[in-house]
Amino acid sequence: MQGFLNKWFGDDSPREMINFNIGMVFISLSYVAALASGLYLGLDRSFYYITGIGMILVAFFVGYAAQSGRYQLAAFCIVLLLDVIIYPIAYFLDGRLLSFMLFYFFVVFLLGTFVLEGRMRITSFFIFLIFWMGSLVNMHYYIASAGRPPFDGLAPIVDVVIPLIICIVYSVTSMIASARYYRLESENAEKERHKADEMERAKDIFLMNMSHEIRTPMNAIMSAGEIMLSRDISEDTRRNVHHIMNACKALISTLDDLLAFSKSEDRVLVIQESEYDLGSLIDDIINIISVRLMGSDVKFYAYIDPYIPRRLFGDAVRIRQVFINILNNAVKYTKEGHILLRVVMSEVKADRMVMHVDVEDTGIGIKEEMIPTLFDDFARVADDMNESLKVEGSGLGLSITKSILSSCGGDISVTSEYNKGSVFSFDIPQRISDVGSLAKVGRAKELGVIVCDDDEKMIAVLLDTLKAMRIKCISVKDSVEMDAAIAEGLYTHLFITPECLMGSCDLPALMSANITIVMMKNVDDPEEEMGEARLIKPINCLNIAQFFENEEQKEKSSLTPGAGEMIKPERVIVSKARAMVIEDNITNMMVAERLLDGMGFDVSTANSGLTALSLAKVMSFDIIFIDYMMAGMNGIDTLREIRRLKNEWAKNVPCIVLTADTHEGAKQTLINAGFDDYLAKPINLAEMEYMVKKYLPEEKLV
């Protein structure tokens, strides 16, 4: 019984089903009452026929509703049956409001109110009104013509009062059921909202932890890089360390973007514009991609228009991210052939220009039908491709790229041929800060370059670049052509690959010719040998201009005594100062220790709050760096305990918190907790020096 009730009237059943079933219970009840009243009033057989047919048809519709779940349609059919068929027949058989006819009216009205919706409800009310008014008019006519009252004897009680009572009970029951249903529904909605809030919070915590987990090792890498840069190292190593640091910065900015992106509801990224150097931005990007391609069979070429203005005004971090996203995809989805980066200026108007970029690859390509959804969130089309080509990815890169570009007023498009390759093209409008161009070679007219390489695409790109830089150039295929070109005496430089140099020509003769040999090498080729002139592939206007500038400098400096010494950046140096680093991650601790050591600090380290406290009891410090997230006693507790120490110095010693938590408000929370300042991980030497300069008494700074 309980199961039956639960199925037909339970909380989990749809509202229209419950109301339909309640209606049917009352219709059945009234049929029983109608039959009883027919007997009592002694109505003739036709009444029983009509009532019987009505009952059978109602039972049929109830069965249909239970089978198909189409309660609205079944209720509407019952409305039509009762109001349009049964009621008029019964009415005209007797011509009065007899035999539960009132019930037919009201039940139709109640079914319309509680079960039907939309057009069915309006139609049922319309039918109800027509028949109700029609019967009133007819009753009036009947009374006037027959001189008989509409009701005889007890008929009013049997035919009017009982149906009215049934209808009232029915409507109250339906109202209670509906109210209960709406209450449950709003409780469920509240539960769902709560669940969604919980999930949102869980996502935030996850992102915060991920951010921390990624930033902490990054801290170690960047800080170790800072240490290396502050030492006397060769130009080559310095360049590589710069690339490592730039790659780390790019990773951190991508991480920040992901955090910002996952938080922004409308997927609009904030653009922060400032002046930047397009040359170093493109140089960095080319280096990152070359390093990624190390050891692969894919060739990387770059054609950069040397006349694009170097100093631009825009959001360099975002623009870099756009380049990296598109080029990274080209690397991910290309296993052989080449990737070509082409950057040109497509429009220049007053102080504005549009930078047009094409990234061409010979990778897996994209099916035509996939292209329209490619820039949607989490869109990935590689999944249904060849197993061996399955590549890691989130499907977010292109949608982030598109958001960035539309935030800057730019756009992106793609043309692709499945299994052949793709070309992603984008436009970035930028303001020009200074018209000075990207790559200018002052003495271009005096130069001439012979290019010797087996790679035809590389030769074409290089010749285009040299021509755009107004440098005379020619390509040669073999030693015969090379000798002839050298003999012309028009060329000052020979750009040649190690393979061509070793393989196809008369080396001693070449060495003695009056021409500078420049080796075209890959980024992973062994370190520069003494005196070797070289260019790293992909050769483009930036490294060509840099090469000729260095050459000119060298020529000049060979005349100046003492030139060529390494210029060391100005550093903060302290004297007789003691610092403590409290950090439970050994790598980060060592990095911070070495940075402080480099500044001349006497450094003590503690891998926990408790160790730090026992140290602070026996010696004093001029500055303390405390990691925020430590196992056991955390940063804030450690700070509190240090401040509670009896020694006077401990009450005022500057305490700087080290944290990877870059969330909004994090700084304020930590400052409110009592820290003097905040140093975001990964620790940057310049920022650490800034803190030392800011908080150390002047007499301790040298």
Residues in contact with ligand ADP by CB under 6 A are: 329-330, 333, 361, 363-366, 374, 379-382, 393-399, 422
Supply the minimum distance, in Å, between the C-beta of residue 339 and ligand ADP: 9
DSSP-derived pairing of the beta strands 352-361 and 337-349: antiparallel
Q: Give the nearer residue to ligand ADP in terms of CB position, either 417 or 637.
A: 417
DSSP-derived pairing of the beta strands 421-437 and 309-314: antiparallel
Q: Give the nearer residue to ligand ADP in terms of CB position, either 331 or 520.
A: 331
> For the chain, how many helices (H) and strands (E)?
24, 17
Supply the minimum distance, in Å, between the C-beta of residue 176 and ligand ADP: 53
Q: Give the nearer residue to ligand ADP in terms of CB position, either 298 or 381.
A: 381
Supply the minimum distance, in Å, between the C-beta of residue 398 and ligand ADP: 3
* Chain-centre distance for alpha carbon 294: 28
Check if the beta carbon of residue 73 is closer than 8 Å to that of residue 119.
no
Residues 7-38 as b or e (16 or more Cβ within 10 Å = b): ebeeeeeebbbbbbbbbbebbeebbebbbebb
Residue whose tokens read 């991920």? 210
Over its C-alpha atoms, the chain yields an Rg (Å, rounded) of 42
Q: Give the nearer residue to ligand ADP in terms of CB position, either 385 or 468.
A: 385
Residue whose tokens read 């692969």? 296
CA 505 vs CA 477, 499, 529: distances in Å: 11, 10, 21
Check if the beta carbon of residue 553 is closer than 8 Å to that of residue 531.
no
Supply the minimum distance, in Å, between the C-beta of residue 268 and ligand ADP: 18
Q: Give the nearer residue to ligand ADP in terms of CB position, either 396 or 408.
A: 396
Neighbours of 628 (CB within 10 A): 23
Check if the beta carbon of residue 53 is closer than 8 Å to that of residue 47.
no
Q: Give the nearer residue to ligand ADP in terms of CB position, either 155 or 412.
A: 412
Residue 334 sits at the vertex; the CA angle it makes with 328 and 335, to the nearest 5 degrees, is 130
The helix (H) or strand (E) run that includes residue 424 is strand 421-437
Supply the minimum distance, in Å, between the C-beta of residue 242 and ligand ADP: 27
Give the three-class secondary structure for 477. Answer: coil
Q: Give the nearer residue to ligand ADP in terms of CB position, either 382 or 404.
A: 382
Distance of alpha carbon 151 from alpha carbon 391, whole angstroms = 86
Taking each helix axis from N to C terminus, what angle separates 685-695 and 162-230, rounded to the nearest 10 degrees? 90
Q: Give the nearer residue to ligand ADP in terms of CB position, either 365 or 600.
A: 365
Q: Give the nearer residue to ligand ADP in terms of CB position, either 353 or 364.
A: 364
Supply the minimum distance, in Å, between the C-beta of residue 532 and ligand ADP: 35
Distance of alpha carbon 398 from alpha carbon 314, whole angstroms = 20
Provide the 8-state DSSP code for 373: G
Of 39, 36, 131, 139, the C-alpha closest to 85 is 131
Check if the beta carbon of residue 322 is closer than 8 Å to that of residue 426.
yes
DSSP-derived pairing of the beta strands 516-521 and 533-536: parallel
The three-state (H, E, C) secondary structure of 258-323, written as one string: HHHHHHCCCCCCCCCCEEEEHHHHHHHHHHHHHHHCCCCCEEEEEEECCCCEEEEEECHHHHHHHH
Residues 322-334 as b or e (16 or more Cβ within 10 Å = b): bbbbbbbbbbbbb
Q: Give the nearer residue to ligand ADP in terms of CB position, either 95 or 337.
A: 337
Give the three-class secondary structure for 581. Answer: strand
88 residue type, one letter = P
Distance of alpha carbon 662 from alpha carbon 674, whole angstroms = 18
Check if the beta carbon of residue 301 is closer than 8 Å to that of residue 456.
no
Q: Give the nearer residue to ligand ADP in terms of CB position, either 344 or 381.
A: 381
Q: Give the nearer residue to ligand ADP in terms of CB position, either 207 or 233.
A: 207
Provide the 8-state DSSP code for 84: I
Supply the minimum distance, in Å, between the C-beta of residue 333 and ligand ADP: 4
Longest dimension (CA), the chain: 139
Q: Give the nearer residue to ligand ADP in terms of CB position, either 145 or 386.
A: 386
Q: Give the nearer residue to ligand ADP in terms of CB position, either 425 or 522.
A: 425
Q: Which residue is nearest to ligand ADP (CB)?
A: 393
Check if the beta carbon of residue 623 is closer than 8 Å to that of residue 692.
yes
> Taking phi first (over 0 means left), then psi (-120 to 50 degrees means alpha), and beta for anything else, what does residue 245 get?
alpha
Q: Give the nearer residue to ligand ADP in terms of CB position, either 395 or 429.
A: 395
Q: Give the nearer residue to ligand ADP in terms of CB position, either 369 or 699.
A: 369
DSSP-derived pairing of the beta strands 655-659 and 677-680: parallel
What the block records as the tokens of 163 is 């149906």
Distance of alpha carbon 361 from alpha carbon 423, whole angstroms = 6
Residues in the chain: 702
Supply the minimum distance, in Å, between the C-beta of residue 328 and ligand ADP: 8
Q: Give the nearer residue to ligand ADP in terms of CB position, either 88 or 395.
A: 395
Supply the minimum distance, in Å, between the C-beta of residue 421 and ligand ADP: 7
Distance of alpha carbon 170 from alpha carbon 26, whole angstroms = 6
Supply the minimum distance, in Å, between the C-beta of residue 460 and ligand ADP: 22
String of DSSP letters for 573-597: -BSS-EEEEE-S-HHHHHHHHHHHH
Supply the minimum distance, in Å, between the C-beta of residue 340 and ligand ADP: 12
